Amino acid sequence: MKPVYLTYYQRTAFSRAHPKKAGVDAFENWPADRLMAQLINHSLAETGISPERIDDLSLGCALAVKEQWSFGGRYPLMQSRLGDQAATRMIDQQCGSSLAALRFGMMSIGCGATEIALAGGFEHMTRIPMGPALFKEGVLGVPALPDDNGKTYDMAVALNMGLTAEQLAAAAGISREQMDAFACRSHQRAYAAQQAGFFNDEIVPMNVAGLEPFALDACIRPDTRPEALATLSPAFSDSGNITAGNSSPLSSGASLAMMMSEAAVNDSGAIPLARVLACVDRGTKPEMMGQGVVPAVKRLLAQTHLTVDDIDLWEINEAFSVVPLYAREALGIDDKKLNMHGGALALGHPLGATGVRLAGTLARSLQLTRGRYGIAAACIGGGQGIALLIERV
């Protein structure tokens, strides 16, 4: 495969979403495709790349229905300065959607089909909420399994991400106290990074009508303490340990990255953030969705002949505290290398946008620490995991 370079990454700040109280969402009146169009325009302005030079745009979205249906990725292109020549597509791989979009761009450049590709993702969890409402409206289909498939799935659990987290915590022996402590860690690290200005260079301020430009992640709570989290009731099961405090908050936002071939880098004078080396996904039991990171990472390391100790930094999505905790223990990851600037428990988790956020923040963190290798990974609803390997240039 030809070398592929990550040359640009930015995102919106992540807002607090609430389907029943739309006013709490800074992006209340901003459809997700409009956010993406703004990011596309900003990428062209920042890099100086002509709109006609972009060969490809891949977009991830977990709930690509209603206004988030993008006509195969064309709607964001139509609203932006991007030239009509760019091929587009929408990818649904749930929480791994924009990492899958990055992978498509990587493969397209790696095989020589394209020279410059954009990959991103978006989710508006106020305007297009996840959950029972979309099933009731008939917008989402209800999975049906043939009677004679020879498999047994607990679909009542598999379709409820909180219950899958409960299953994983119970099976792995991860306690409520451990999960709450990890949530506090996430908020503290994210707040420290925010105060130090780390996120400033990756967030594009959005001029939300009637407000100051929205440029700070809205869900970070620096005063989060284990004692306070311990008072929260279980969110998904009366006898469970998964609460709103150790789950990622609902949020809205978008993220975008640019990748180039070696020839395009040399021609444009771009300064790469990282080289994109490999991306692997792997399936697991749907009702144990949160463990999907582990088989994906194991396969990625085996294919690239690396070990856990070779990896300098990790960004593992904090859909729930139990996900990175399980991966940390199962893989033997040094805690100091894991989510050094916090994660989705504090920053938010706009489903389709998260993958590129993980990869972009990882690349910037490797630049900061002068590490060599980093892995960005996420579990995926339905029973999958995805993992991306990058190398600092």
Q: Is 42 a catalytic residue?
A: no
How many CA atoms within 13 Å lie on the side-chain side of 125?
Answer: 24
Catalytic, out of 95, 184, 219, 279? 95
Take residue 226 and report the two structure tokens written for it.
């284990």
Q: Is 95 a catalytic residue?
A: yes
pLDDT tens per residue across span 281-318:
999 999 999 999 999 999 999 999 999 999 999 999 99
Spatial CB neighbours of 70, under 8 Å, sequence gap ≥ 6: 33, 59, 61, 64, 76, 88, 90
pLDDT tens per residue across span 121-134:
999 999 999 876 66
> Where are the alpha helices (H) located in the chain, listed in sequence order?
32-47, 74-78, 97-110, 132-136, 155-158, 161-172, 176-195, 226-229, 262-268, 293-304, 322-331, 344-347, 354-369
pLDDT of residue 153: 83
Task: Return d(Cα 180, Cα 166) in angstroms, integer.
Answer: 14
Asked if residue 269 lies in contact with residue 16, where contact means CB atoms within 8 angstroms, the answer is no
Q: Is 349 a catalytic residue?
A: yes
pLDDT of residue 134: 64
Residue among 303, 259, 260, 261 at smallest CA distance from 280: 303
pLDDT tens per residue across span 320-361:
999 999 999 999 999 999 999 999 999 999 999 999 999 999
Residue 378 per-residue DSSP state? E
Instruction: Enter the pTM of the model.
Output: 0.96
Catalytic, out of 184, 219, 279, 379? 379
pLDDT tens per residue across span 220-249:
999 999 999 999 999 899 889 999 999 999
